[in-house]
Structure 1
Amino acid sequence: MKNVPIAAGKSSFGLVDTQALREALEPMEGLVILDAACGAGNYTLALARWAGLHSRIYAVDLWEEGVFELRRRIGDAGLSHVQAHVADLSQGTTLAQESVDLCLAATVIHDLVADGKVEGMLKALARTLKKEGRLAVVEFEKKPGPPGPPEALRLSPEALSTLVRPFGFSLTEIRPVGEALYLAIFAKV
C-alpha cells in the first residue's frame, strides 16, 4: 500500500480530554476548520459536532484507507458540512489561500519531523490559514511513554514553538489536554 504514514491507524483521540480540547478551541461555530492529517477522522467528527452545521470542516490525510473510512463515517452521520480528501499536506493544499480559520494538527507534527516533511506542511498551513487564524497542535509531552511515540521523537512545547515560529506563527497558549498530551495554540501573524 502506498502513502501510509508512520502512525496510520493509530489515534490519540482516546487519550485526549475532549472537554479541555473543546474549551481551548472555542469559538468554533461558523468557522472554516481544517483537520490536518486526519487519519480515520476521530478528531474530525468531534470538530463537526462541536462547530455545528454552520461551519465547514475539511479533513485531509495522505492515508487513503483512513480517508475512505472517514468518508463512510461522514455519510453514516449525515454530516454535509464535512469533506474528507486524500492529499499529502507536505506537498501543499488545494484549499484557497487564507481560507481557513482554525487548523488542528493532532499528534502528527513529530511524525512529520521524523519523515523530514514538516516544513512542507507548515508552509501549506501558513498559506491556508487566514490572518489571525489559529493553528492548534496536540502533541505528546516530552517524557517516556507509553502511550505515544518514543521520547526521542516527542516535541517539547519549546521545541514545537521553535519549529513553528519561522512560518509566521506566534504561540498564544499551552495547556494540558490529557495525562500525556498538551495543546499549543498559535496565531498566524
Structure 2
Amino acid sequence: MDNIQKMPKGAGKSSFELIDSDKLRSALPIKPGSVVIDLACGKGIYSMFLSKIVGQTGLIYAVDLWKEGLLSLEEQIEKKNITNIMTLLADAGKQIDIDDYSSDICLMATVLHDFEEGGQADTVLKEIKTLLNPKGCLAIIEFKKIEGPPGPPINIRLSEAQVEKIVTKHGFVKKETVDIGEYTYLTTFLST
C-alpha cells in the first residue's frame, strides 16, 4: 500500500464557475485548430470548454498528476464522444510528454500559486517554455489578492505584479491582464 498516490493540493476544486467564460474566451488567442495545454487540469472543466473552441482540427492536452481527476475527464470525453482532448498523467514539475515547441497556448487556471508555494514554479515555467511554439501564449488565471473564500488563503495568493515577476524571468512578455470575475483575473504572456 505504499504506492498510494497523494492527492495534489487543490485537486477536485475548479475555479471555472467563478469566471466569466465569455471574457476568458475573448482574452485568449484561441481559434479552431489551436493546440492548447491545460496544465494541472483537474477534472478538465476548462479542457471541456476549450475543446469546443478549438474544434475537430484542434487539440487539448489535459495534463494533471491527479489520476482520479483525469479518469473523471475521460468518462466525460467518452460519454460525449469528444475526440480532441488527450489526457496525460504527468507531474508538471518534470518533463511532460508533449513535443517541444508544438503548442499554441498553455492555460494554468488557479494553479501557479500552488506551484510557487511548493517551490516548483520555476521548473514548471521552464518546461512550459519548451512546449510552446515561439509565438505561443501562456495564460494564467489567479485569484485576486483579496480575502476569501472562495480560493486559497490570502498569504499564498499572487498579485498581478507577483505573477508578472515570476513569469517574465523565463522569457515571457506580459501582454495584458483582464478581470474575468469577481474573484479572478487572467494575465496573458507571449513567448519570446
Residue identity (%):
39
Amino acid across the alignment from 1:187:
L
Hey, what does 1:141 align to over in structure 2?
Answer: 144
Q: 2:12 aligns with which of 9, 14, 20?
A: 9
Give the ranges of 4+ consecutive aligned residues of structure 1 lying more than 4 Å apart after TM superposition.
none
Partner of 1:120 in structure 2? Answer: 123
Within 1, Cα distance between the matches of 2:14 and 2:59? 22
Q: Name the structure 2 match of 1:54.
A: 57
The yes-or-no answer on 1:43 pairing with 2:46 is yes
Does 2:62 align with 1:71? no
1:136–1:185 contact (8 Å) kept in structure 2: yes
Match of 2:104 in 1: 101
Q: SS of 2:93's equivalent? A: helix
Q: Are the counterparts in 1 of residues 142 and 184 from structure 2 also a CA contact under 8 Å?
A: yes
Alignment check: 8 A CA contact 1:107 1:140 kept: yes
Consecutive unaligned residues of structure 1, counting only runs of 5 or more, are none
Q: CA deviation at 1:3?
A: 4.0
> Which residue number in structure 2 is paired with residue 151 of structure 1?
154
Shift of 1:26: 3.7
SS for the counterpart of 2:31 is coil
Distance 1:147 1:106 in 2: 14
For 2:79, what is the secondary structure of its paired residue?
Answer: helix
Deviations along 1:137-162, whole A, 9 cap, x unmatched?
A: 00000111111001111001110010
Q: Secondary structure at the match of 2:127?
A: helix
The alignment status of 1:179 with 2:178, answered yes or no, reads no
CA–CA distance in structure 2, aligned partners of residues 92 and 158 of structure 1: 28
Q: Which residue of 2 aligns with 1:33?
A: 36
CA distance in 1, matches of 2:190, 2:103: 12
- The alpha-carbon deviation at position 117 of structure 1 amounts to 1.4
Larger helix share, 1 or 2: 1
User: Once the 2 structures are TM-superposed, how far is the Cα of residue 166 of structure 1 from its aligned partner?
Assistant: 1.3
Q: How many residues align?
A: 189
Distance in 2 (alpha carbons) for counterparts of 1:170 and 1:85: 28
Whole-Å separation in 1 of the counterparts to 2:29 and 2:168: 22
Q: Please give the alpha-carbon distance, in whole angstroms, between the structure 2 residues aligned to 1:72 and 1:169.
A: 35
Normalized against structure 1, the TM-score is what?
Answer: 0.97
Q: Secondary structure at the match of 1:28?
A: coil
1:59, 1:83 within 8 Å by CA — same for their partners in 2? yes
**TM-score normalised by length of structure 2:** 0.96
Aligned Cα root-mean-square deviation (Å): 0.9
Distance 2:169 2:155 in 1: 23
For the 8 Å contact 2:61–2:88, the answer to whether it is kept is yes
Deviation at 1:94, TM superposition (A): 1.3
User: What letter corresponds to residue 79 of structure 1 in structure 2?
Assistant: I
* Contact kept in structure 1, 2:35 and 2:54, CA below 8 Å: no
